Structure 1
């Protein structure tokens, strides 16, 4: 019953937000780098921090005892990202809040006490990088919602059937938020986009869950629950470096962008293919007892080869 009520609250919350966004002109205007052609409400991803607030309403004592540091980190990164959606902030301000949020995340996951101090900077770089990867990949309808939904379902399965690393509700609430968001975003003409608040918010939550799982099992293979995003972003950055482009400027070189913009493939099909690809990886990953290095090779050789082949073919076809 709790989850039904929570879902209703989330639906009402996002509809109220739509009215606010419409009144105050919080919109995404298409430009030459966009994969969409219509003005669309921005910031629908506010549903993810709202989901944490709803979680607090039903589990306040538990949140105060166990999840307060995560909540502060989530709300901080979502707040600064939402402001950045409305008006561009300096990179120093964004980075400062991101670093504070990551510190709170690492404290929440007991990384500081379970890992030697020399490993801490590695976690900082990986988490900041993964958050930005989430943001880079949020470019077409359904991508963020579908990919996050598959990853969260995989984490829920692991938590229920393999090893318990957190409360089920801590995974179910972002799943509910993803479903509500997808109802309005997984459409040919999306009602809203996630915005930075959405990609950073759900990215932060997913990373926290994966970090909890790694700290519990001391098995780093679970990083690969985000391997499709990771592979795409790393290979695209390498490509842009080789082309001597500024990697910090917006672009349209991601494979999903080429399919959506040049090939004119439906956003929903492209997003679904990415989600299903990660699901295939997750099924293999969860059931594999192989050494981490071998798992990485068995994932990245076929998917990386397919990625490079498709990228080369599209670039040749459209003279990019």
Structure 2
């Protein structure tokens, strides 16, 4: 595997540099607007390197044709959306089509029809949740490294260890251009959606193979921020399909002016702590559904407490500004 890394890392760096040149020439860039958390024009769609990584894994025999096709369909819809914003329904159709290929390849159509529908709704929701959370430098690439790193050490998905390594190499290359004060490139929808598809594929496989509900907590930080943000926006009667800056990490970055890298590390280290704690705990005893729900409740209350404190701080800052 070390020899493979010595070959793939230079290749991925070369391909990324080529993409940067093409993207700049073709004006595939992200121009800051009132919803942005960045202040300079930045190349968009750098996450295409993850598609390259998945294709490399397929050539090496680390992933099957059906998951690869599903990932490519999802990524293609994301790349088109990066170039020219797509309406909601074509994007959702692409996600559903990709998942159908994944279910077909995995032989899961033997499941009851109602369970297939539930899986499709949850999986599509996860892809969009992951995409929504891609808003500041480093957060997506670091979170993905933690997620894939966790999966790497779980025996239930040991057959995908080589796939995880290959994708990890692609993530490391992307991190070089993204995990910095002023990012050179953003993942774009093509990157965040393809990563969401891959992580969702491994996550779904993990839960089905192990029959352990507590594995849902391995992605809980992203899930909680996204789901509570959606609920709050629904309570405020907002259109949840429209772009916004109301995630907790966006409040920290935009309203409170915290550094992007600091926030990204904050999110990632919390998820890493949760994952390592669960792995250690599960080796001591089996974690029940009730215990999982208790942990989830504690995390949810902790998130809401932090969000409330951040919001109060923002209100005080706005009040001081109005008094000037």
TM category, shorter: over 0.9
Identify the residue that residue 278 of structure 2 maps to in structure 1.
Answer: 285
Which position in structure 2 is the counterpart of 1:18? 20
Taking the aligned partners of 2:112 and 2:277, their CA distance within structure 1 comes to 30
Unaligned runs of 5+ in 1: none
User: Residue in 1 aligned with 2:178?
Assistant: 185
SS of 1:318 mapped into structure 2: helix
Match status 1:316 vs 2:284: no
1:97 to 72, 94, 99: 94
- The match for 1:71 is 68
Deviation per CA, 1:253-300, whole angstroms, max 9, x where unpaired? 110001000111110010011111111111122233221231232243
2:42 aligns with: 40
1:123 is aligned to 2:119: yes
C-alpha contact 1:109 1:211 (8 A) present in aligned 2: no
Distance (whole Å) between structure 1 residues aligned to residue 231 and residue 4 of structure 2: 46
**8 A contact 1:142–1:271 mirrored in 2:** yes
Residue in 1 that maps onto 2:239: 246
Aligned 8 A contact 1:51 1:173 in 2: yes
**Aligned pairs (5 A) from 1:74-223:** 74-113=71-110, 115-158=111-154, 162-223=155-216
In the TM superposition, residue 20 of structure 1 has moved relative to its aligned partner by 0.6
Q: Residue 232 of structure 2 aligns to a residue in which SS?
A: helix
Match of residue 302 from structure 2: 306
For residue 144 of structure 2, give the secondary structure of its aligned residue in structure 1.
helix
Checking the alignment, whether the CA contact within 8 Å between 1:165 and 1:212 is kept in structure 2 is no
Rounded to whole Å, the distance in 1 between the matches of 2:58 and 2:8 is 11
**When the two structures are aligned, how many residues end up with a matched partner?**
310
Q: Deviations over 1:44-64 (max 9, x none)?
A: 1111101012223333xx65x
In structure 2, the CA distance between the partners of 1:123 and 1:165, relative to structure 1 (3 Å rule), is farther
Deviations 1:138-176 (A, max 9, x none): 000001000000010000011xxx334423212111111
Question: Secondary structure, in 3 states, of the residue corresponding to 2:153?
Answer: helix
| Separation in structure 1 between the aligned mates of residue 146 and residue 274 of structure 2, nearest angstrom | 11
Contact map agreement 1:30 1:39 (CA 8 A) in 2: yes
Contact 1:231-1:300 at 8 Å conserved across structures? no
CA distance in 1, matches of 2:157, 2:128: 28
Structure 2, gaps ≥5 residues long: 319-324
SS in 1 for 2:47: helix
Cα RMSD after superposing both structures: 1.6
Q: TM-score, normalised by structure 1?
A: 0.92
- The Cα shift of 1:220 comes to 2.8
SS state at 1:25 partner: coil
CA distance in 2, matches of 1:164, 1:311: 35
Note the alpha carbon deviations across 1:200-243, whole angstroms, 9 max, x for none.
01110011111111222122322221111111111111111111
Task: Name the counterpart of 1:224.
Answer: 217
2:137·2:180 contact (CA, 8 Å) conserved in 1?
yes
Matched-pair contact (CA < 8 Å) for 2:214–2:287? no
